[in-house]
Every structure is written in structure tokens, then in C-alpha cells.
Amino acid sequence: MMKLYGLNNCDSCRKARAVLTRHGVDYVFVDLSRQPPDAATIGEWLDSVGEDALVNRRSRSWRELDDSARQRAAVELLAEHPKLMKRPILVRDTAVMCGGGEQDWLAFATDN
């Protein structure tokens, strides 16, 4: 089953959930603030999509970090600050997708 990782108050995550639900896609929503992924999972995502795709360097959370925090390894940083991840994160089997829009989410969800 596909998982959609995000935040309840994130507009993109709400849109993704609405699109997937409207198109009958079976998924489980995981709130990153309540159930943050462990470092091993984050490492797998980084291996799959890369640091530039997963770390949201345009977010307010990123801008609020000091320079020393920004220099930390991405796995450590994201484990400590899951809000820094680009959202939504869709995971199906071993495939991972971050961000995107309606067509991207549907294509990912329905790709066999």
C-alpha cells in the first residue's frame, strides 16, 4: 500500500490527499510531525531521490537554521527537523517521490 508522508497543515499535502482520494487511490497518510521517519528510512529516501529533492532549502524552517546546522549531514538534519522535507512524500514499495503536482501524484500512484 502506498504511503503519503506530510503535515496536516501543509497545503500541498492536503491537495495531494484530496486528489488521491478523489481518484480512488488507496493510501495511508503519515503525519511527519507525529510519526517522523527514522534515520534509516530517511537514508533510503535520500538514496532514492537525492538530497536536493528531499531537503526543502526554500522553507522557513531552513531559513531559521544557523549555518552550523545547515552543514550537518542531511540524514541527521531531517531526522531532527522533519519539517525540512519537501512534501508530500509518496512511497510505494521502494519507489519514492517528493513534491510535485496533481499529475505527478496520480502518475506515481498508478504506475505499475
Domains of the chain: which residue ranges? Answer: 2-110
CA separation for the pair 2, 88 (Å, rounded): 12
Q: Please, where are the H alpha helices in 2-112?
A: 11-22, 39-49, 51-54, 60-63, 67-70, 74-80, 102-110
Distance, CA of 103 to CA of 110 (rounded, Å): 11
For residue 92, what is its C-alpha cell? 510505494
pTM of the model: 0.92
pLDDT tens, position by position, 1-11: 899 999 999 99
Q: Is 98 a catalytic residue?
A: no
Q: How many CB atoms lie within 10 A of CB 77?
A: 20
**CA-wise closest residue to 81 among 100, 108, 54:** 54
Of the residues 2, 4, 10, 53, only one is catalytic, namely 10
Q: What homologous superfamily does CATH list for 2-110?
A: Glutaredoxin (3.40.30.10)
* pLDDT tens figures, 19-75: 999 999 999 999 999 999 999 999 999 999 999 999 999 999 999 999 999 999 999
